[in-house]
Structure formats: structure tokens, C-alpha cells
Amino acid sequence: MKKSMLFASVTVCLITAGVPAFAHEAHEHGTARINLSVEGQKVEIGLETPLASLISFEHAPETDAQKKELRDMATIMRKADTLFIFPTEARCRLEKVSLESEAISDGLLSPAGTPAAGAKGGKGETGSPGDKREDGEGHADLDAEISFICRHPEKLNRIEVDMFKAFPNLKEIEIQMVTPKGQGAAELTPQANVVKW
Ligand SMILES: [Zn+2]
């Protein structure tokens, strides 16, 4: 009996030891990851970041101040053409921004005045019961999908990422790119926020 207990606990240790290392990799406060693809006239940006890189909490908002912080963040993210700057000659136009977080009900991330935003109830959370994380160690990401249409995609040769000014908690962005010129990767910081290809 004693022997099998010991074996069981060792096994658990091995399994859990692997998980945090991976989770750390994918969810590191202060960082974000961007996948950029340029195909024809379309530029698509997939952004994944811990909520803590953008705002001060990672759970459903509990106070009016937290709701405001969240809405302000969503408002900034929706103006994605001020966060991701392409050469003027490429004539890029922001086409779509969609924001999603497993910790936040959709209404709070939607633009004000849309049916989703209007549907939020008077008090309490509007999310499903599964949204609640009460383990004290809850972490949550924000996922954004952003697309631009560029009239002169042949002029696309760089992107300037201005998220650092808007979100001071954010210190580093790992960007991976697929463009007509091939694949590339770079690390962006507040001091080096432009990638060329
Ligand atoms: Zn976190």
C-alpha cells in the first residue's frame, strides 16, 4: 500500500512538472504574441496576450472601475489602425477586429451599442457559469483577430506596432510573419517596435 502511494505521487509530480513550463511559455505577463500574414490584399493579425499585459486583472470584472478598464482596453484594441501601422503608400484600411477572452462575457468586449453590449443584464455577470474561476490562480488571455485590406499590397514592407504606448504593462511582443517574401520572426520592444520584410 505504502509503496503504491509513493509511486502515485511521483507520477503526479512528473505530469504537473511539465504543465507549468508550457503554460509559462504561452502565458507570460508583459508579453504578447502576434501572427501576421499578408496574402493578396489582405493582412491578418492574430494576437494572443495575457489579459494582465493590457489591464490590471484576469477575471470577469467585479467593480465599475474594472468594467471601465476593460471597456477602455476594448475601445483601444478596436482602433487597431492606430496600433498597427503600415506604410501609407500601401493604402491599408482596417476591415475587422474581433476580441475574445475566456474570462470575459462577450458583451463587455463588444462595441457599445451593439446588441451584445445592450444585452448585458443589470447586475452580476452575464457569462455562463463556466466563466467563473475562483481558484485564485486564474489566468486568462485576450485573443484578437484583426484584418486589413490594402489597396497597394506590393508596398507593404513593414509594420510598426504601437501597442506599447497604449498598454504600458506590455514589454515584449513576439511576432511571426508570413508574407509574399517568406517567413520571419522578430521580437518587438518599446524601443524597437518596427519589423521590416
Ligand atoms: Zn496571467
Give the Cα separation of 119 and 101 in Å (integer).
18
| Residue with more model confidence, 179 or 11 | 179
pLDDT at 111: 81
Name the residue among 149, 154, 42, 41 with its Cα closest to residue 89.
154
79-104: b or e for each residue (b if 16 or more CB lie within 10 Å)?
ebeebbebeeebebebbebebebbbb
Measure 26 CA to ligand 1 centroid, in angstroms: 10
Give the Cα separation of 166 and 72 in Å (integer).
10
pLDDT at 18: 39
Q: pLDDT per residue over 93-125, tens digit each?
A: 999 999 999 999 878 898 865 654 444 444 444
Measure 51 CA to ligand 1 centroid, in angstroms: 7
Please state, as a whole number, how many other Cβ atoms lie within 10 Å of the Cβ of residue 76: 15
Instruction: List C-alpha distances in Å: 177 to 25, 65, 107, 174.
Output: 19, 36, 31, 10
- Name the pLDDT band for 20 (thresholds 50, 70, 90): very low
At residue 175, φ and ψ (nearest 5 deg) are -120, 135
Provide the whole-model pTM: 0.77
Parse the chain into domains and list their residue ranges.
32-114+137-196
Q: Say which range, 51-55, 109-113, 163-167, has the weakest mean pLDDT.
A: 109-113
Q: Is the pLDDT of residue 88 over 80?
A: yes
pLDDT at 26: 76
Measure 77 CA to ligand 1 centroid, in angstroms: 19
Measure 49 CA to ligand 1 centroid, in angstroms: 9
Q: Is the pLDDT of residue 13 over 70?
A: no
pLDDT at 14: 42
Catalogue the E-assigned strands of 11-134. Answer: 31-39, 42-50, 84-85, 92-100
| Residue with more model confidence, 131 or 197 | 197
Give the Cα separation of 61 and 55 in Å (integer).
11
pLDDT at 45: 98
